[in-house]
Amino acid sequence: MASTESLNNTEKDILEAAKKVFVEKGYSGARMQAIADEANINKAMLHYYFRSKDALFDRIVDGAVEIMAREFTPVLSSEGSVMEKVEMLIDGYTKTIIENPYIPIFVLNELSQNADKYQARLKSKMEKTQFFSGFLFQIAEEQQKGILKPVGVDQFIITVMSLLVFPFVARPVFENMLGLEKGQYFEMMENRKALIKEIIHSSLVEKKNI
């Protein structure tokens, strides 16, 4: 429910504008008036459609959660080796985040700040937690069997996510630091998919000695 379908234009405009302003300014820094301006509508419309700033924000979070769930659930619940799943995640995540660059920033900035509030929602709405803990278990298993290097489950997860997620979270910093523009940067992220896979293979996967 509540995807982008079945929304009238004003509603979509509001969501787009809100997304932008919330990401740029953060929840507290975002002004309802700024969102209204960005959407070219009267401020009262925000409340007409979404009742409150909080509700509007939550709606966007819900959207993000849904997008990520759609991305992760099928991969994590599929059959296949850890590395097969990881490679699928790298491709899928990169694609999804290039389409929705606001998501990782949201997760890090806002969800970290109100951990208590959103933690519940995350764990509940996605029974995916099953898949996730199952995935953790599978990693442990393959590390024990000698398929993966025995670096520990936590380090494995942290490493993969660092390589995959950080470039998107720190995009503003990197673009500035390396003198790139948004377009170039995303192109670079496309190329990066292959590099990440190589890095993981050469450092977290046990070399086959047949």
Instruction: Compute the least distance from the CB of residue 71 to DNA, in Å.
Output: 30
Q: Which stretch binds a second copy (CB under 8 A): 47-55, 71-79, 85-93, 202-210?
A: 202-210
Residue length of the chain: 210
* Nearer CB in complex with a second copy: 82/105: 105
Which stretches within 3-127 are classed as H helix?
9-29, 32-39, 43-50, 53-76, 82-99, 102-106, 112-113, 115-125
Instruction: Compute the least distance from the CB of residue 113 to DNA, in Å.
Output: 14
The two tokens of residue 81 are 């080796």
* Nearer CB in complex with a second copy: 88/188: 188
* Nearer CB in complex with a second copy: 2/158: 158
Q: Please give the Cα distance from 2 to 30 (Å, whole number).
A: 23
CA 89 to chain CA mean position, Å: 11
* Nearer CB in complex with DNA: 25/70: 25
Instruction: Compute the least distance from the CB of residue 43 to a second copy, in Å.
Output: 18
Dihedral angle of Cα 28, 58, 101, 157, to the nearest 10 degrees:
100
**Cβ-based burial of 106 (10 A; exposed 0-12, middle 13-18, buried ≥19):** buried
* Nearer CB in complex with a second copy: 40/191: 191
Kindly give, in sequence order, each residue whose CB lies less than 8 Å from that of residue 52, ignoring residues fewer than 6 positions away. none
- Asked if 127 touches a second copy (CB under 8 A), the answer is no
- H/E stretch holding 110 reads none
Q: Please give the Cα distance from 103 to 85 (Å, whole number).
A: 21
Q: Among a second copy, DNA, none, what binds residue 47 when CB lies within 5 to 8 Å by partner kind? A: DNA
Instruction: Compute the least distance from the CB of residue 107 to a second copy, in Å.
Output: 7
Where do contacts with DNA occur on this chain (CB under 7 A)? 8, 10, 30-33, 41-45, 47-48, 51-54
Residues near a second copy (CB under 8 A): 24-29, 105, 107-109, 111-113, 115, 119, 151, 154-155, 157-159, 161-163, 165-167, 169-170, 172-174, 176-178, 180, 188, 191-192, 195, 198-199, 202-204
